[in-house]
Amino acid sequence: MGKSRGEEVKGEIAVIKDLKDFIKWVLIAVIVGGLVGLVGVAFRFSIDYATHLRQANFWMLFFLPIGGIFIVWLYKIMGAENDRGTNFVLVSIRSEEHISIKTAPLIFISTVLTHLVGGSAGKEGGALQLGSSISNKIGEILKLDQHDMHTMTMCGMSAAFAALFGTPVTSAVFALEVVSIGIMHYSALVPCIIAAATGSLIAEKFGIEPEKFVLRGIPELGATSIGKVILLAILCAFISVLFCFIMKKVSWGYNRWIKSRYVKGIVGGFIVLAFTLIVGNSDYNGGGMNIVANAIEGKVFIGAFLLKMIFTAFTLGSGFKGGEIVPSFFTGATFGNAAAGIVGLNSSFAAGIGLIAVFCGVTNCPISALILSVEMFGAEGVLFFAIVCGVSYMLSGYTGLYSEQKIVYSKTKTKFIDQKTC
């Protein structure tokens, strides 16, 4: 039977409503992408300048303990001493809690300071908090409802991540995927993509080049090459579990033995400084994307991946600010490079495999990781990277960098579990 006139009218009304929502979100996403993109550019330039200044003046590392004290003091006077970082961003998407606008200047200043004095941290954690804080404020000004505010948070995350890394598709999908693994809010797909594209374009206009690398030695597709890639992916999955374990155990140790946040910042600063002096170079301070490039282009110290995990855990666990994703890039790329000879792969290709596999394992985001491999390395080895993402996701268990991240469905069965990462 054909549709009644009433059903046709309802259908037309639904189409008109969807079109209005589409226009609304395109406009809002451009605004969010524009504002967050500009702030993201300033954030990127500030971190790059701080890193350059520190690398040119080794003595700045001796200010690590003072940097730790200042960050604690800054959060205390702003009434944010119980700040939960990126975890709170994830919570805000699933609840009625909102991220305060004061998070933006706090994370901006503290992350730049962490890089200036030589803490081992990335920039994406700061970017996610920065973007979500600004987008939430825009949502409040526009008087959006609770559901739309959740979309705004994901928009801000997408725009900031894209402005820093120049990977807009990864940025949009990561914002959708990272909150609850197994469920993606497709209603936020258009806003996140538009916001990410806008943020990325603005970064390009200011001369910020996307993170791209050329992998050498990508093998021909065959049973032997697939077997070697699977073996490396298995090893990387275990490394991702180790990364999360070290991060959480060191943080637990700080909290167990040191009650004062100020003392924690001082002790953490001295520990990272001591590690740097013992190692004898600053390869493990800051984010370390230069070492990632070295791993893809040539050889690196065989134990670099372990040192980076230790440096990062003792930095972030003591109260310094930043992110764990860039250190996971470092860890994965250097481990892949080191393990290349064991599995029989080209060291450049193995470094790329390691980067994607460890990123996938620590974030539990296989779709984002696969897209990142294409945006960062090109599509030539995409089938290998798809295999890597599947293996790493399945074997990394229910660990993760973010304690508020939820795994909605089992990794090995079509079973609803809805549990937080451990």
* Residue 301: how many other CB atoms lie within 10 Å: 18
Q: Whole-angstrom Cα distance, residue 26 to residue 198?
A: 11
Q: Compute and round to an integer the Cα radius of gyration of the chain.
A: 22
Q: What is the pLDDT of residues 100-145, one digit of tens each?
A: 899 999 999 999 999 999 999 998 788 889 999 999 999 999 999 9
DSSP β-ladder status, 416-420 and 406-409: antiparallel
Helices (H), 178-220: 189-205
Q: Exposure pattern of 219-239 as b/e (b: 16+ CB <10 Å)?
A: beeeeebeebbbbbbbbbbbb
11-20, 95-104, 250-259, 329-338: least confidently modelled range: 11-20
Closest CA to 131 of 170, 94, 87, 86: 86
Give pLDDT, residue 203: 96
Q: What is the pLDDT of residues 2-54, one digit of tens each?
A: 556 555 556 567 778 889 999 999 999 999 999 999 999 999 999 999 999 99
1-5, 183-187, 284-288, 307-311: least confidently modelled range: 1-5
* pLDDT of 343 higher than 60: yes
Are 121 and 309 a contacting pair, CB within 8 Å?
no
Non-local CB neighbours of 108 within 8 Å, separated by 6+ positions: 39, 43, 46, 126, 130
Mean pLDDT of 175-200: 94
Q: Whole-angstrom Cα distance, residue 1 to residue 115?
A: 68
Specify whether the backbone of 409 is left (phi greater than 0), alpha (psi in -120 to 50) or beta. beta
Q: Whole-angstrom Cα distance, residue 343 to residue 202?
A: 41
Mean pLDDT of 223-242: 98
Q: Whole-angstrom Cα distance, residue 261 to residue 231?
A: 42
Give pLDDT, residue 288: 93
Q: pLDDT band for 1, please (50, 70, 90 cuts).
A: very low
Q: Whole-angstrom Cα distance, residue 107 to residue 355?
A: 26
Q: Which domains does the chain have, with CATH numbers?
A: 6-205 (1.10.3080.10), 223-420 (1.10.3080.10)
Q: Whole-angstrom Cα distance, residue 126 to residue 322?
A: 5
What are the residues facing 181 on neighbouring strands? 407
Q: Whole-angstrom Cα distance, residue 254 to residue 214?
A: 40
